[in-house]
Structure 1
Amino acid sequence: MITCDSPGLAPLDQALEALLAMIEPVSGAEKVPLNQACGRILATPVDAPLAVPPADNSAMDGYAVRAADLREAATLTLIGRSTAGHAFDGQVGPGECVRIMTGAWMPAGADTVVMQENTEALDDRRVRFLQPAQSGDNVRPRGEDIAQGSRVLNAGRRLRPADLGLLASLGIAQVCVKPALTVALLATGDELAEPGQGLADGQIYQSNTFTVAPVLSRLGCRVLELGTVEDSEDALMAAFIQADAQADVVITTGGVSVGEADYTRDVLARLGHIDFWRLAIKPGKPFACGRLPSSLFLGLPGNPVSALVTLHQLAVPMLRKLAGEDQVMPLRLNALAGKPLRKRPGRTDFQRGIWSLNEQGQLQVRATGGQSSGVLSSMSQANCYIILEQMRGDVAVGETVLIEPFDGLLG
């Protein structure tokens, strides 16, 4: 176990590095239609089968000419017309021009487009050009966007809407992607009741799966929600066996803290190999990771904010690697503390904050009130983490702090 200045606690960056080293990306691939590929992970690189644009074309409405004919103001003979999808089928010779529209292919022999504002139509056959032109003016050359044979997307990329348009522009109708991860999700604890039920004495409503499942779905996982499991050896054993048989990853919330019921630990130890981590972060100190017979196991804390923070900061990078996605570095920015922040040295603190711009256009941030790991409203109100370094103490107004704006998984 990695240690730090706080006895027995693992610094977050070192823990994440060690946890990622345990992960091998899933094997296999499948072809999917382009309109079903958004958010999937490319399994193989994509090289351009053709050039984009496929031919020299006009960037303006105007006239296609030979620049050599326009060294001085000249009158040229109009011999035809070229529009998008209907190219001029002929050759532009000395003293000739072709009417051309934006996006239309350049006629053979022409090397320049003169915008129509710099011309004067004398009649149906003659056009006067009011100024000289340089060869290549207003022409988009073949392959200006993408050269034929060039690498356009690398394996490991999560496909975005613009990527799909790019692939479509190359005539690609299917792509080879990694299989989507199936994640089984369950909560543990006798104290948990499902929303809509009445509460018995000592019970609280189960909220963790309602925050964790959407994050997993946004990550592209297929989520199997297996509900809440009571704290009994038989129930936990049955739930873990079912989850392991159906999923690539099993994620639980609760049952990983020191001092909790031993059933979870005992059952996991009997089924596979599990390491229990105590992390130097707040919220979210307890975290479990290991292997069941057929799946990766991740155990999140039971407190709602702790579960969401450890999911986002630890489980998500692990799931990205397992899915075959390239490493994604979070956006982190400096901001000014708009109000004092309370902090005890010893653990990296992911306080929940709201960033904004002050009157000078500078980033500033304030905390969302109470920062207890059970105050889920602090996450609901926030638009960023305020990341306070492990050994940092209280922060005064105006001090610089690091923030991580919520990404598309949380925002």
Structure 2
Amino acid sequence: MIKFLKLSPFQNALDFCKFFSSIEVFEELNIFQLNNRVSFEDVSSRFSLPLENRSAVDGYAVFSEETFGSSENTPVLLRLLGEQKVGDPPLSIERGGCVKVATGSTLPINSNGVVMLEHTKTSGEFVEVYKAISYYENVLKKGEDFKEGYVLVNKGKRINFRDCAILAASGFETIKVYKKPRVAIISTGDEIISYKEKLTVSKIYDANGPLIVNGIETFAEPIFLGVVKDNRKDLEEKFKYAIKNCDCIFISGGSSIGERDYVEEVIKSFGEVIYHGFLVKPGKPLLLGRNGNMPIIGFPGHPLPVMIYLNLVGIPILKKLGGDRNFYPKSDKGILRDPIFSVPGRVDLIMGYKENDLVVPLLSKSDYISSATKSELIIKIPEDREIVLEGEEVEIFLWE
């Protein structure tokens, strides 16, 4: 029988990612495929933007000094010399004249400002200007957005759709990104059956396999190896495949104390166990090991702690392997609406949600999977607290 030789502090689980380094392998993806991928290198602009002075408003390009002194009662009269359309080569402007422009138009040669359309009135071949402007007012100057060599995306940044816009505006068709780590996912237990099988009183459907696969697909390439019964030889065969073909192993069930829980023994035969057992509820039997730079996580069998530790340990590990520089779980502070009773000496993790900017705990039986569907966050109760009162500030972890 396996026993927990030493229960580790909860913080050790959060810091498990420190044992590993990113996998320095990249692939090149099209600009339309970059969202939520991690940049493999610094990407710098190859030119300044805009390439030349552009109008920031609809109006008339002018010599700004020729508008000085204009007002509602004493407008300045300028001759209309033409219209600068967006995308056309720049026209030129002469003293005493103006050129009509649209937002984004190249600024006509020699002009140094744009009077907004609403501050003007056309009168035949002339334009009356009712408001003075300063030099380069309403103008986006060359290189004002960013200059050549400006770092658009840093190495290790998870690219979002806003980054895609600036990369596209800079003329990039493809970008190098970290390849997603391949994750072997194994569900274990004699009582676990596939959804294809008929449910009986002594069996339960595998919830953890689909949970993990769907939970990590943004950060990794999940490879579900199926359900393994409590048989060491079968589990070893799955491990052999995973060690050869994957970058990480996630296994659910088999990490508790029991005669038929072989996970720790199998991990030791392929690598090392770093932690087994934590001063935390739920998730006391969480098992963390490795084979070199390959993390191996043994989740408890119940889906609720799997959800919690996938979010707090599993996904951060995948972010780290995948080059993401911001890999720790997202956290925040909040004010508790209802009191929470705890047990000193361990960390309690409780699902909850926010209502009117207050943190509300979901205090239900730990076996209720349904409570997770209402959860927006995870409340952390420190190990030195027996009760946390309403109105107190608590640390919360946010779901990915």
In the superposition, the TM-score normalised over structure 2's length comes to 0.92
Measured in 2, the distance between the counterparts of 1:405 and 1:270 equals: 35
Q: CA deviation at 1:339?
A: 2.3
The answer (yes or no) to whether the contact 1:195–1:206 under 8 Å persists in 2 is yes
AA partner of residue 302 (structure 2): N
Measured in 2, the distance between the counterparts of 1:316 and 1:32 equals: 22
Measured in 1, the distance between the counterparts of 2:282 and 2:259 equals: 17
| Aligned residue number for residue 161 of structure 1 | 161
Q: Please state if 1:77 is matched with 2:79.
A: yes
| Aligned residue number for residue 135 of structure 2 | 135
Q: CA deviation at 1:289?
A: 2.7
Q: Please state if 1:52 is matched with 2:53.
A: no
| Aligned residue number for residue 360 of structure 1 | none
| Aligned residue number for residue 298 of structure 2 | 299
Q: CA deviation at 1:338?
A: 2.3
Q: SS in structure 2 opposite 1:44? A: coil
Q: CA deviation at 1:291?
A: 3.0
| Aligned residue number for residue 4 of structure 1 | none
Identity of aligned residues (%): 28
Most deviating of 23-32 and 389-398: 389-398
Q: CA deviation at 1:164?
A: 0.8
Matches within 5 A, 1:156-195: 156-195=156-195
Measured in 2, the distance between the counterparts of 1:16 and 1:53 equals: 44
Measured in 2, the distance between the counterparts of 1:347 and 1:217 equals: 32
Measured in 1, the distance between the counterparts of 2:152 and 2:293 equals: 35
**Of the candidates 362, 378, 384, which is equivalent to residue 371 of structure 2?**
378
Measured in 2, the distance between the counterparts of 1:266 and 1:330 equals: 29
| Aligned residue number for residue 97 of structure 1 | 98
Q: Please state if 1:213 is matched with 2:206.
A: no
**Of the candidates 40, 45, 53, which is equivalent to residue 43 of structure 1?**
40
AA partner of residue 94 (structure 1): R
The answer (yes or no) to whether the contact 1:333–1:403 under 8 Å persists in 2 is yes
Q: CA deviation at 1:305?
A: 1.1
Change (3 A) 1:55 1:176: same
1:132-175 deviation digits (Å, cap 9, x = unpaired): 22111111112222222111210001111111111001011100
Change (3 A) 1:72 1:100: same
1:168-193 deviation digits (Å, cap 9, x = unpaired): 01011100111111111011111112
1:281-301 deviation digits (Å, cap 9, x = unpaired): 221122223334884322111
Change (3 A) 1:133 1:275: closer
Measured in 1, the distance between the counterparts of 2:69 and 2:267 equals: 85
| Aligned residue number for residue 384 of structure 2 | 391
Q: CA deviation at 1:87?
A: 3.7
AA partner of residue 303 (structure 1): H
AA partner of residue 325 (structure 1): D
1:16-75 deviation digits (Å, cap 9, x = unpaired): 33x222101102222111111211111010111112222211111110001121223321
AA partner of residue 79 (structure 2): T
Change (3 A) 1:49 1:111: same
Q: SS in structure 1 opposite 2:387? A: coil
1:288-327 deviation digits (Å, cap 9, x = unpaired): 2333488432211112111121111112212111111112
Measured in 1, the distance between the counterparts of 2:378 and 2:270 equals: 36
- CA RMSD, aligned part only? 2.1
Matches within 5 A, 1:216-231: 216-219=216-219, 221-231=220-230
Measured in 1, the distance between the counterparts of 2:299 and 2:86 equals: 57
Change (3 A) 1:170 1:298: same
1:95-149 deviation digits (Å, cap 9, x = unpaired): 12111111101011000000122122121x3222123221111111122222221
Q: CA deviation at 1:76?
A: 1.5
Unpaired segments ≥5 residues, structure 1: 1-6, 358-362
Aligned residues: 392
Q: CA deviation at 1:77?
A: 1.7
Q: Please state if 1:266 is matched with 2:260.
A: no
AA partner of residue 33 (structure 2): Q
Q: Please state if 1:352 is matched with 2:351.
A: yes
AA partner of residue 52 (structure 2): A
Q: SS in structure 2 opposite 1:231? A: coil
Q: SS in structure 2 opposite 1:355? A: strand
Most deviating of 30-39 and 291-300: 291-300
| Aligned residue number for residue 239 of structure 1 | 238
| Aligned residue number for residue 204 of structure 1 | 204
Q: Please state if 1:342 is matched with 2:322.
A: no
1:326-371 deviation digits (Å, cap 9, x = unpaired): 12454434333322322111222110112111xxxxx212222315
Measured in 2, the distance between the counterparts of 1:134 and 1:268 equals: 72
AA partner of residue 188 (structure 2): T
Q: SS in structure 2 opposite 1:24? A: coil
Change (3 A) 1:82 1:169: same
